[in-house]
Chains A and B, each alone.
Chain A
């Protein structure tokens, strides 16, 4: 158990809908990263938050957004869902930002868009 908690574990929804994925980082970790794993794109970095502020964006669609709350948990919001958004979404947390510290991954949320 990495100490990173993601909910829900599985999510099935229809095209056009909106969903929210939740991540609770390890105790004491200030950084949260979101990654998407799909068959065609592999593992891709989406976005990073540190202590409540967005710090970096990767290949994140405009239909997707995220935030990190004062208690440091993070949510990834996916809207106007398309079939191609079906993927495994991971969050990872690490202690800091800017210095290389190891990131620990949650169990992931498997999103299926039908």
Chain B
């Protein structure tokens, strides 16, 4: 059974600081997704990582994938308040390529 673990679960950081969210998964997969969710809202796709060594950047967020270590990271650079949200990683697998989600990291950026 595919398991996806994220840490930390909660993250409070000061504006302007850098931090990294980690996502480990238990079995081989060739796609990893990062989503953002604002309270009560839908899941917004941030990144789709397709292969070992993939790195994608959008604004202050950068995601990477190491398939050998079964690890993805989401790095936040010079955080701003607008980044406050819950971030999920998800790995696809199973017969229907359904997504298995991590528990989410609730990020709060403090002024």
Contact = CB atoms under 8 A, between A and B. Distances in A.
B100 A104 contact: no
A100 B101 contact: no
Contacts, number: 59
Contacts of B88: 43
Taking chain A's interface residues, is the majority helix, strand, or loop, or is none over half, making it mixed?
strand
Interface of A: 2, 31, 33, 35, 42-45, 48, 50, 55-56, 58, 88, 90, 92, 94, 97-108, 110
30 contacts: A35-B99, A42-B101, A42-B104, A43-B90, A43-B104, A45-B94, A45-B100, A50-B96, A55-B95, A56-B94, A56-B95, A56-B98, A58-B98, A88-B40, A94-B97, A97-B97, A98-B96, A100-B30, A100-B31, A100-B92, A100-B97, A102-B33, A102-B48, A105-B35, A105-B42, A106-B42, A107-B41, A107-B42, A108-B41, A110-B40
